[in-house]
Amino acid sequence: MPAIIITAYGTMGDILPYLALGQALTARGHKIYMSIPKHLHSKCLEENLIPIQIGHKEVNAEKVNKSALLWDNWSTNVDELEARKKLPGSHTWFNTQKSVNNLLNVCSGATLIICNPQQEIVAAVIAEKLSIPLVRAIVTPALLYQPNNWWKVSQWSIKKNIYHDNYHKLRETQGLTGQDPWRKYWGFDRLIFPASPYLFPSPPYCLPSNQTGFWFYNSSQLNKWRPDDKLRKFMTTDEKPLVVSFSSQPIRDRENFIITHVRAAMKIGRRILIQEGWSNFNSSHLPDNIDKDSVMFTGFIPQDWLFSQASAVITHGGVGTITRALRNGCTMLLEPHTYEQCFNAHRTLSWGVGAAMYPNKLTAEGIANVLEKKVLSDGYKKQAIKIKTQLHSEAGVEKASDLIEAWLPS
């Protein structure tokens, strides 16, 4: 049974597509090692994947909220910009040597390694140490269309930087010497882009044959999930409610955020369901003069069910949330906070399925106007249904599995 390593780091939205790939490869008879954050190990065990501690510090709600300024690329306040400089960057959460050691201790017989951008350095050293092929999979479209620091690492920038130095130090800890093999592992022939060509045509640097369509994770446990009576009643009445889903995006002024969006929903006569997310939105943020029967706060709910019941989704614009909404024919209002989310918002506008608003100066009146005139319009809904049909015709993880099996050593 061929053994394959999949190593990925980040928030849940960064990891779930790789779990979907692990599911598909396991179903084909491969032994899959999943090097991912510990809080997702239970999902590995559900799917007969072998979890390995990744070695990096956990990315969680507490850490993200403490560093919320890092997730707000709109800030121009001088004091806030100075405060951002003192916050630990995401690269300080990495312990690449521990991650490599954890993998080598368990996966010495692996025949191929797959990584996300946050694990490129680790994967390159593992591939060299074990003399196995390396496959990069980039589930975040902005990294291909608008290259950032991670892509500069992949391109092996002439200018030295912290990733450049860490890579060489990591090679030395494993007794690897000689010519730098970076370019050998970082060619474009084994770069997979898990996004729909219908929505993201002609990505730079990616061979057309290596674009697969999105990887949607659906666990056996999620398939068994059923809403309770209270949730079902709230979501399935005649006028479908709005859904607010901000996942791991931290919101600094939670009370104002909740009040603004709830009042916007009231202005157009809609109920509104708000997922708690990592910002921990809850009913304590509501003022007394709000009709609390028109608002519901919830924890985790499978997005396929939730978005299929929603009139529209209000979201930060993470690619995972956007693609799930589209898979269920749901239009969107995007309030992007980071560069990647702004890129996604721009694309969503071009597809004619959503609108975008500047998140730091929102008003209830403004949100209500955009929802009523654009997001909830028949034209937007018709286009969302068209894209839904297209996405359901694609088999992203199956095409990716075919590619990976073709790249396995004979």
Q: What angle do CA 149, 151, 153 make, to 5 degrees?
A: 75
Q: Which residue's entry shows tokens 């706060």?
A: 297
Is the confidence at residue 404, as pLDDT, over 50?
Answer: yes
Instruction: Tell me, yes or no, whether 160 and 256 share the same domain.
Output: no
Distance, CA of 318 to CA of 302 (rounded, Å): 16
Shared-domain flag, residues 320 and 200: no
pLDDT bin (cut points 50, 70, 90) of residue 269 is very high
Do 21 and 45 lie in one domain? The reply is yes
Report the share of the chain in percent with pLDDT over 70.
93
Is the same domain home to 164 and 192?
yes
Phi, psi of 53 (to 5 degrees): -60, 130
For residues 58 and 319, what is the distance between their CA atoms, to the nearest angstrom? 21
Looking at the fold, whether 301 and 202 belong to one and the same domain comes out as: no
Burial class (CB in 10 A: 0-12, 13-18, 19+), 92: exposed
CB 7 within 8 A of CB 50: no
Q: In terms of domains, do 286 and 183 share one? A: no
3-state secondary structure at position 286: coil
Residue 1 sits at the vertex; the CA angle it makes with 102 and 194, to the nearest 5 degrees, is 70
Residue 66 lies in a domain: no
Same-domain pairing of 194 and 258: no
What strand order describes the sheet that includes 134-137?
A: 50-53, 31-36, 3-7, 112-115, 134-137, 191-192
| Stretch 275-280: mean pLDDT | 93
Asked whether residue 297 is assigned to any structural domain, the reply reads yes
Are 121 and 259 members of one domain? no
Q: Is residue 86 part of a domain?
A: no
* Residue 353, domain member (yes or no): yes
Q: Side chain identity at 43, as an amino acid letter?
A: K
- The CATH number of residue 133's host domain is 3.40.50.2000
Identify whether 62 is part of a domain. Answer: no
Per the structure, the count of domains in the chain is 2
Could you tell me if residue 65 is inside a domain? no
Predicted structure pTM score: 0.92
Residue ranges making up the domain that contains 354? 224-392
pLDDT at 26: 96
User: What is the arithmetic mean of pLDDT over 346-365?
Assistant: 96
Least confident of 62-71, 256-265, 288-297: 62-71
Tell me: do 7 and 135 sit in the same domain.
yes
For 125-184, how does the pLDDT look when each residue is reduced to its tens digit (9 = 90+)?
999 999 999 999 999 999 888 765 555 545 444 445 666 677 888 888 899 887 777 667
Residue 82 has pLDDT above 80, yes or no: yes
Averaged over 44-65, what is the pLDDT?
A: 87
The chain-wide mean pLDDT, for the chain, equals 89
Judge if 324 and 352 occupy the same domain.
yes
